[in-house]
Structure 1
Amino acid sequence: MSDPRHRSSPSRPRRFLVTLVACLVLWWVLTGGDPGGWIIGVPVALLAAVSVLVLPPGRRYRLSLGGLLIFMGFFLWQSFVGGLDVSRRALSPRMPLTPGFIDYPVRLPPGPALTFFMNVIGLLPGTLSVGLHRRRIRLHVLDLRMPLHASLSRLEYRVAALFGLRLEAS
């Protein structure tokens, strides 16, 4: 019997077909099924699918179904709260903003989970990930007075749970 942790990567033709179908479905959804969009969509999908033949496969990872469900709820709530907060700040006559940069010491291991974490940081109110140097993420924030480290730590914990990982000690 084979150990599921040591499965080999899917074959190149399979990766090509999966990528092609995924891109075509995504294009169909984005264009609302408009037949005129296929003039651009098919060549772009083909180029994306060909890229999997040229680029090496990425590292395999697994997602936790329970972690995914919890993360979806967390993501929706944080998106709503973040949108309200940014709207409140932008529409306030005083415009309570103190923009600047902060560094956050990351505990996720390098790989897909860390990349995902850096991409979803923007769902927190007034934050945007701008870079990673060694084990610190540089963030642009709308207000340096916001208590962001606790929010970032909660988000990092949720991402770790989503990917079935344990956070490294800081």
Structure 2
Amino acid sequence: MKYFTTFVTLLLIYLLLAGFVVEEVILGSAVSAVLTFILFKYIDFNVDVTLPIKLVKFVFIYIPVFIWKLLLANLDMARRVLSPKIPLNPGIVKVKTDIKSDLGKLTLANSITLTPGTLSIDVEGEYIYVHSVDVKNKNEVEISKNISGPFEKILGGIFK
């Protein structure tokens, strides 16, 4: 199964770069077979059967929520910049996450960083350290809910 998955992945990458002409499919198959044979002992991954379901969740649920939160954060930052007295209360907060996967934590940290007004500084264990331009309160649970709540709920269902 791992050999087949590696072969198909390499072939699809080749065909996306070269084109879907009969000669390219034949050549791409040969090149992908040789590369799969060479790389097989170095590649270590597990094929997840639920990947298509997770991909659909990511594209149709997570991305719209992320875009909405991105829009709200941009409007909030524009309001802060355009107001006569810039309302800032900067600080570094410790956001607890229940996501165990490294890829899930990376996605969460990048999502936090991409929304204006927040910057992920470090990921350590189950915590993400975030610099925020407005730390409204000192309660760690409320801060975590405000910064990562909507992202983490969806990403927790995608990345275990």
TM over 0.5: yes
Structure 1, residues 127-167: CA drift from partner, whole Å, max 9, x if none?
11111112211111111126532131221011123x164xx
Maintained 8 Å contact 1:67/1:164: no
* Residue aligned with 1:149, SS: helix
Partners of 1:159 and 1:74 lie apart in 2 by 11
Larger CA Rg, structure 1 vs 2: 2
Per the alignment, residue 34 of structure 1 pairs with: none
Partners of 1:91 and 1:85 lie apart in 2 by 10
Amino acid at match of 2:79: R
Partners of 2:79 and 2:14 lie apart in 1 by 42
Maintained 8 Å contact 1:81/1:125: no
Structure 1 regions of 5+ residues with no counterpart?
1-6, 26-52, 166-170
Do the aligned partners of residues 17 and 140 (structure 1) sit closer, same or farther apart at CA in structure 2, a change above 3 Å counting?
A: farther
Select 2:106's aligned residue among 109, 115, 134.
Answer: 115
Select 2:70's aligned residue among 79, 82, 90.
Answer: 79
Deviation, 1:75, is 1.3
Partners of 1:94 and 1:21 lie apart in 2 by 56
* Residue aligned with 2:2, SS: coil
1:131 aligns with 2:127: no
Maintained 8 Å contact 2:77/2:116: yes
- Larger relative helix fraction: 2
Do the aligned partners of residues 127 and 20 (structure 1) sit closer, same or farther apart at CA in structure 2, a change above 3 Å counting?
A: farther
Deviation, 1:111, is 2.7
* 1:149-164 correspondence to structure 2 within 5 Å: 149-151=144-146, 152-161=148-157, 163=158
Select 1:69's aligned residue among 45, 60, 63.
Answer: 60
* Residue aligned with 1:107, SS: coil
Deviation, 1:85, is 0.7
RMSD: 3.0
**Percent of matched pairs sharing the same residue:** 23
Per the alignment, residue 21 of structure 2 pairs with: none
TM-score normalised to the size of structure 1?
Answer: 0.61
Maintained 8 Å contact 1:82/1:123: no
Maintained 8 Å contact 2:104/2:159: no
Per the alignment, residue 2 of structure 2 pairs with: 8
Amino acid at match of 2:145: A
Partners of 2:156 and 2:71 lie apart in 1 by 22
Do the aligned partners of residues 126 and 110 (structure 1) sit closer, same or farther apart at CA in structure 2, a change above 3 Å counting?
A: same
Partners of 1:60 and 1:121 lie apart in 2 by 28
Do the aligned partners of residues 164 and 109 (structure 1) sit closer, same or farther apart at CA in structure 2, a change above 3 Å counting?
A: closer
